[in-house]
Structure 1
C-alpha cells in the first residue's frame, strides 16, 4: 500500500470514530438536556421602595406637617424637583413563583402641611406577612407581630436581678468634674 492510501485509510478511521462518538454524545445529551430542563434556576427576590401598611395610612391626617408624615411613613422613594409639594411612596416586590406586586401612595402638601393623599389600598402588616410567607403553617395562622405588656416586662431592666439597684450604682457626687474644655485634636501643629 502506498503512503497516500495509508493516509486516506487513517483519515477514514478517524472520521468513523468521530461519527460514532458524536452519536453516543447525542443519546447522552438528550437525557442530560431533559434533566437540566427539570431544574429551575434560583431567581433573586427583588424588593424596592417603602412598604406602607394600612395602619400607617390610617394614622395620616390632613394638616400634618411634613416631619410628622415622614415619621409615620419614612422618607419618600421619589422626590421630584418640579413637584416639591408631592411625595410618592412606591413599593414593588418580585418573587419566584408569585405575581409581582406594586403599590403606590402619593402625598400632596400645601406649603408645610399635608393637604390630601391618594393611592392603592394597602394591606395590613398581618396580611402582608401572610402574603410573604409561602410555607405551609399549622393552622395557617400568621405569627403575632406585637408584644403584650406582660411580654415586654420580661425585658424590663429594672426587674430584680437584671440590673444594679440604685444603691449599687455610683452617685453623681462621687464622679470627678468634667474639664472646662478639651485640647484641640491637632495640638502639635
Structure 2
C-alpha cells in the first residue's frame, strides 16, 4: 500500500465513524430520570432502578404507645414510655415534640408529629394526629416485601406470660473482691 492509499483508507474510516455518530444521535434514547424524582419506580435510562437510602428520623410513636401515657404523669415516666423527644426547645421548656419521618424505597413516605405539653413537670395534654397508626398498621405500611399470611405476633398474651418459667435468681451473698487488691500508705499527719 502506498501513502495515498493509507490516507484514503483512513479518510473512509473517519467518514464511516462520523456517519455512525450522526445516525446514533438520531435514535431515541430513554428518558434520564434522576434520584430527586419521587417516583418509586424511577429508572435511570429506563433500565436500572437505583438504590435509594432508607431515611428514618425521629421517634416512631404508635396509637398503642400513646394509650399508655396519661395526663398527670411525670416527665420521667413519659420519657420511659415514649423515649426522648426529638425536639425539646429551651424556649418552650414545657413542650416536647416527637417528630417522625421515613422514606423507604417501595413505600409511601410518612411524616408525623406528636406534641406533649407539661405543667410543672406533669403531663398536661397530648396533641397527636387522628390517623396515628397502631403498631401492626405501621409495620404493614412500611413492609415492602408483603409476606403472605398474618403479621407476626408482637406480644405474649397474659396466659402465655403466666406459662413462662419463673427465672431462678441466685441467693444474694457477699462476694470476695475479684482482681488485685491494693493497700495504700496512711495519709500524712495520721499515724
Both proteins in one fold, TM over 0.5? yes
Normalized per residue, which structure has more strand? 1
**Greater Cα offset, 15-24 or 95-104:** 15-24
Q: Which runs of 5+ in 1 are unaligned?
A: 159-165, 185-189
Equivalences, count? 168
SS in 2 for 1:98: coil
Normalized per residue, which structure has more helix? 1
In the TM superposition, residue 23 of structure 1 has moved relative to its aligned partner by 6.0
1:40-189 superposed matches below 5 A: 40-121=49-130, 122-139=132-149, 141-148=150-157, 149-150=159-160, 153=163, 157-158=167-168, 172=173, 176=176, 178=177, 183=182
Aligned to 1:18: 17
C-alpha separation in 2, matches of 1:22 and 1:48:
48
* Cα-to-partner distance string for 1:166-188 (whole Å, 9 max, x where unaligned): 9xx79948x65x49x9538xxxx
Aligned to 1:162: none
In the TM superposition, residue 119 of structure 1 has moved relative to its aligned partner by 1.9
CA RMSD of aligned residues (A): 3.9
TM-score, structure 1 as length reference: 0.68
User: Cα gap change, 1:137/1:155 in structure 2, threshold over 3 Å: closer, same or farther?
Assistant: farther
Q: Which runs of 5+ in 2 are unaligned?
A: 33-42, 184-191
Aligned to 1:163: none
The question of whether the paired residues in 1 share the 8 Å contact of 2:107 and 2:141 is answered with: no
C-alpha separation in 1, matches of 2:54 and 2:27:
35
C-alpha separation in 1, matches of 2:71 and 2:47:
54
**Greater Cα offset, 35-44 or 106-115:** 35-44
User: Cα gap change, 1:90/1:17 in structure 2, threshold over 3 Å: closer, same or farther?
Assistant: same
User: Cα gap change, 1:98/1:78 in structure 2, threshold over 3 Å: closer, same or farther?
Assistant: same
* Cα-to-partner distance string for 1:111-143 (whole Å, 9 max, x where unaligned): 21111110213211111112222334334x221
